[in-house]
């Protein structure tokens, strides 16, 4: 049986993108990559792995609907079934949500529903919480509001800086994202 084909959407450094691509037991193939920041570091990573990319500036389009329609065409052309957001800094619109209903997943560096939106690690750090973590969830119209698939707690230590906390959160992210994708896709394909 041929592998499920997935696309990763990212806008930044791409450490989660890399963790997915490097994971040799991933049950799906990362067959496409989408980026909305033409100067993002993650683009070079995708190119080094030989993964075909679509890079765009949202401002070159008249609306979210317009660039998402083009994205949908590209994703269909590449026979993509699933979308994994990994630091994609745009809100997914109706067009993409409809086209990939129930098949878009995001990773967020907090224990949602706490600290949604930008700089979740900084928000948790400033709030002086004793623990934070990582959430994997389905994407809906809201900002980090979709149904939760998996969560893992990360303690915040007295002597943590925002940077040390971020490093420990990322270690968890890089394990939890591929593990959760594998569990979910295995469950879906066996039912």
Torsion, CA 59, CA 63, CA 66, CA 67, rounded to 10: 40
Whole-angstrom distance, CA of residue 178 vs CA of residue 107: 11
Q: Does 12 bind ligand GRF (CB under 6 A)?
A: yes
Complex with ligand GRF: residue 69 or 140, whichever CB lies closer: 140
> How many residues belong to the site for ligand GRF (CB under 6 A)?
13
C-beta of 17: minimal distance to ligand GRF in Å? 6
Contact 133, 168 (CB under 8 A): no
180 part of the interface to ligand GRF, by CB under 6 A? no
Whose Cβ is closer to ligand GRF: residue 1's or residue 163's?
163
Does 16 contact ligand GRF by CB under 6 A?
yes
- Options 6, 9, 14, 82; binder of ligand GRF; rule CB under 6 A: 14
Whether residue 86 contacts residue 116, with contact meaning beta carbons closer than 8 Å, is answered with: no
CA dist 55 and 147 (Å) reads 28
Contact 35, 9 (CB under 8 A): yes
Stretch that binds ligand GRF, among 56-64, 95-103, 107-115, 179-187 (CB under 6 A): 107-115
Decide: is 146 part of the binding site for ligand GRF (CB under 6 A).
Answer: no
CA distance 111 to 32: 28
Query: How near is the Cβ of 175 to ligand GRF at its closest, in Å?
Result: 13
Describe the chain by its helix, strand, coil percentages, rounded to 5. Answer: 40, 20, 40
Residue 173 in contact with ligand GRF, rule: CB under 6 A: yes
Q: Tell which one of 28, 80, 107, 176 touches ligand GRF (CB under 6 A).
A: 107
Cis omega (within 30 of 0) on the bond before 46?
A: no
Q: How far is the CB of 2 from ligand GRF (least distance, A)?
A: 27
Listing DSSP states for 121-133 in one string gives HHHHHHTT-SEEE
CB of 1 to ligand GRF, least distance (A): 29
- The residues annotated as belonging to the active site are 108
Binding site for ligand GRF (CB under 6 A): 10, 12-17, 86-87, 107-109, 173
């Amino acid at each position: 049986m041929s592998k499920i084909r997935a696309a990763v959407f990212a806008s930044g450094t791409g450490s989660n993108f890399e963790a997915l691509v490097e994971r040799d037991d991933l049950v799906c193939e990362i067959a496409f990559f989408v980026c909305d920041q033409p100067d993002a570091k993650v683009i070079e990573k995708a190119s080094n792995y030989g993964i075909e990319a679509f890079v765009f500036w949202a401002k070159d389009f008249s609306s979210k609907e317009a660039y998402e329609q083009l994205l949908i065409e590209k994703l269909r052309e590449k026979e993509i079934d699933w979308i994994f957001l990994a630091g994609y800094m745009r809100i997914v619109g109706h067009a993409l949500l409809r086209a990939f209903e129930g098949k878009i997943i995001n990773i967020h560096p907090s224990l949602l529903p706490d600290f949604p939106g930008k700089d979740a690690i900084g928000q948790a750090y400033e709030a002086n919480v004793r623990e934070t973590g990582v959430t994997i969830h389905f994407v809906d119209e809201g900002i980090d509001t979709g149904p939760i698939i998996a969560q893992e707690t990360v303690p915040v230590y007295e002597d943590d800086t925002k940077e040390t906390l971020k490093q420990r959160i990322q270690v968890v992210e890089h394990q939890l994202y591929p593990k959760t994708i594998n569990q979910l896709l295995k469950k879906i394909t066996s039912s």
